[in-house]
A and B are shown apart, each in its own frame.
Chain A
C-alpha cells in the first residue's frame, strides 16, 4: 500500500534495552522526520533527514540514533531506553521545501 507506515504500533520495553522503531514510505520523498508527542509539549522534533545518508539533530536528539541508508526507510533507535522516553513517536515525510508533511500512525512506546 502506498503511504507511510510505522512499526510496531505498540511497544513495551524495559529500561536499558535497545529499541528500534521503523518507518517506511513509498513515495520516495526526500525529507523525513521523527517527532515525539507528549502531553504539555506538543510535537518535538527528534531527528530529520534531507536525503539518504544525510541526517541532522532536531530539538530533542539525546538518547536517540537514526540512519537513512535508503530513501524510503528512516529507523529510529533508542540505544538504552529510559522511562523519560515513554511517548508516542511519529514519523513523517515531505516532498520538499514549503510542502506539507505526511504522518504515519505512530508508535506508542512504554518504557518500564
Chain B
C-alpha cells in the first residue's frame, strides 16, 4: 500500500537558518503530493502541493519539488523565522480516483530567535 516517510523531529534551528525536511513516499502510479502545516493549537492547513513529476510547489517562502526518480518531496526554506515553528506533514493522494490521503507522521520544527 501507499506510505509516506518523514524525517523524525524535532528539528531545531536558529532564525534565518536553512531548512530541509525530508519526505519520501511509496505509491503506484503518479500520486499528488502535499505539505500541510499545523501551527500550535490549530488544525492542519495546506502549505503547498505538486501534482506531477518535476513540478515545484511553493508558498510563503517554502518550496518542494516532486522527484519521481527518487520518490521524494523534500520541503525547503532558505531562511526560517520564529513564526515558522510548527508541525509539518507530508502527504500523498494516489492516482486512480482516491480521495483518502496518506499522511506521514509529522515533523516538528522549532525556530529559536
B67 to chain A, nearest CB (A): 19
With A104-B43, A105-B42 known to touch, is A96 a contact of B99 (CB < 8 Å)? yes
Instruction: Kindly state whether residue B93 has any CB partner on chain A within 8 Å.
Output: yes
Chain B 33-57 interface mask (CB, 8 Å, partner A; 1/0): 0101000011111100101000000
For the complex, what is the distance from the CA of A31 to the CA of B34, rounded to whole Å?
Answer: 18
| Pairwise interchain contact A100-B46, C-beta atoms closer than 8 A | yes
Give chain B interface residues in 83-113, CB to chain A under 8 Å.
89, 93, 95, 97-101, 103-106
Chain B 51-77 interface mask (CB, 8 Å, partner A; 1/0): 100000000000000000000000000
Interface residues contributed by chain B, number (CB under 8 Å): 23
Q: Is the interface of B mostly helix, strand, loop or mixed?
A: loop
| Pairwise interchain contact B97-A97, C-beta atoms closer than 8 A | yes
A34 to chain B, nearest CB (A): 12
Q: How large is the interface on A (under 10, 10 to 19, 20 to 34, 35 or more residues)?
A: 20 to 34
From B32, B42, B104, contact of A106 by CB (8 A): B42
From A42, A94, A98, A102, contact of B51 by CB (8 A): A98
For the complex, what is the distance from the CA of A58 to the CA of B99, rounded to whole Å?
Answer: 13
From A42, A50, A99, contact of B103 by CB (8 A): A42
For the complex, what is the distance from the CA of A106 to the CA of B97, rounded to whole Å?
Answer: 27
| Pairwise interchain contact A50-B99, C-beta atoms closer than 8 A | yes
| Pairwise interchain contact B99-A98, C-beta atoms closer than 8 A | yes
From A43, A48, A97, A102, contact of B89 by CB (8 A): A43
11 residue pairs from A and B, CB less than 8 Å apart = A42-B106, A43-B89, A43-B103, A45-B100, A92-B43, A94-B99, A96-B99, A98-B32, A98-B93, A98-B98, A103-B45
**Which B residues have a C-beta under 8 Å from some C-beta of A?**
32, 34, 36, 41-46, 49, 51, 89, 93, 95, 97-101, 103-106
Q: Lowest 4 CB-CB distances: which A-B pairs, in order?
A: A103-B43, A42-B105, A100-B46, A103-B44
